[in-house]
């Protein structure tokens, strides 16, 4: 009899290297899904999600081609907790419905010979929106807050003040670390982070966990 199917969540803070970790898990042969990619899809042109966002925030958050101007919207919501909450009320239900459908599909596939018996969803705001209970275990990608700020400034070309505002909109990374089943240290080099992902994966499939990457 094969191992049971396990639903894993990957989370962390902004600019903690979650995408690097998710790519590595995919390279290891695991089914993965990125909530940020799903979130973009649910507010694509022509969707009910985008219509709801425009109704709430006005046409000024659209680009000339009718697509969502994520930078303009981000400027609004990171400076206004109420506006951010309204956006989350629009986007999050659709995102989690899509992820749930994907996980159920992966579970069905896991009954096939050789199919992975685990799937990983990258969800940046997993704890903030109270959705950790949907998953069997949670992996947190973590680095020091000052390193998050440096990476965010370099990545998005924003000021330190703007970077700190974005961090303040999420739970502190240490709070997430304390709740995690596994922590991936992403403070070092790319190679070190990848090695840390491999180490966590070895722990997940170790004796007593009831999970294997393949039948």
Q: What is the pLDDT of residues 60-76, one digit of tens each?
A: 999 999 999 998 998 89
Residue 2 clears pLDDT 90, i.e. is over it:
no
Residue 128 clears pLDDT 70, i.e. is over it:
yes
**Looking at residue 209, what is its pLDDT?**
45
Question: Residue 34's pLDDT band (boundaries 50, 70, 90)?
Answer: very high
Smallest Cα–Cα separation from 93: which of 139, 141, 43? 43
Burial of 85 (0-12, 13-18, 19+ CB in 10 A): exposed
Q: What is the pLDDT of residues 171-188, one digit of tens each?
A: 999 999 999 999 999 999
- Domain segments of the chain as ranges: 6-204
What sections of the chain are H helices per DSSP? 18-27, 35-41, 48-57, 70-77, 81-109, 145-156, 160-168, 173-179, 190-204
**Mean pLDDT, residues 127-141 taken together:** 96
Give the Cβ contact number of residue 208 at 10 Å.
5
Pick the CATH number of 6-204 from 3.40.109.10, 3.30.70.1340, 3.30.450.40, 3.40.50.300: 3.40.50.300
């Amino acid at each position: 009899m094969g191992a049971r199917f396990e639903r894993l969540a990957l989370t962390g803070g902004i600019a903690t290297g979650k995408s690097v970790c998710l790519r590595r898990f995919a390279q290891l042969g695991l089914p993965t899904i990125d909530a940020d990619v799903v979130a973009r899809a649910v507010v694509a042109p022509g969707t009910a999600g985008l219509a709801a966002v425009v109704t709430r925030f006005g046409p000024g958050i659209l680009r000339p081609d009718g697509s969502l101007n994520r930078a303009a919207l981000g400027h609004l919501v990171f400076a206004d907790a109420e506006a951010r909450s309204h956006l989350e009320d629009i986007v999050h239900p659709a995102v989690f419905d899509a992820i749930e459908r994907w996980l159920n599909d992966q579970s069905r596939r896991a009954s096939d010979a050789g199919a992975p018996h685990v799937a990983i969803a990258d969800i940046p705001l997993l704890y903030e929106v109270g959705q950790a209970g949907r998953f069997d275990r949670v992996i947190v990608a973590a680095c020091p807050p000052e390193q998050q700020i440096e990476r965010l400034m370099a990545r998005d070309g924003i000021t330190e003040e703007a970077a700190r505002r974005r961090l303040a909109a999420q739970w502190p990374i240490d709070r997430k670390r304390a709740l995690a089943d596994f922590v991936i240290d992403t403070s070092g080099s790319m190679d070190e982070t990848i090695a840390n992902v491999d180490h966590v994966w070895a722990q997940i499939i170790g004796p007593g966990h009831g999970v294997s990457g393949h039948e």
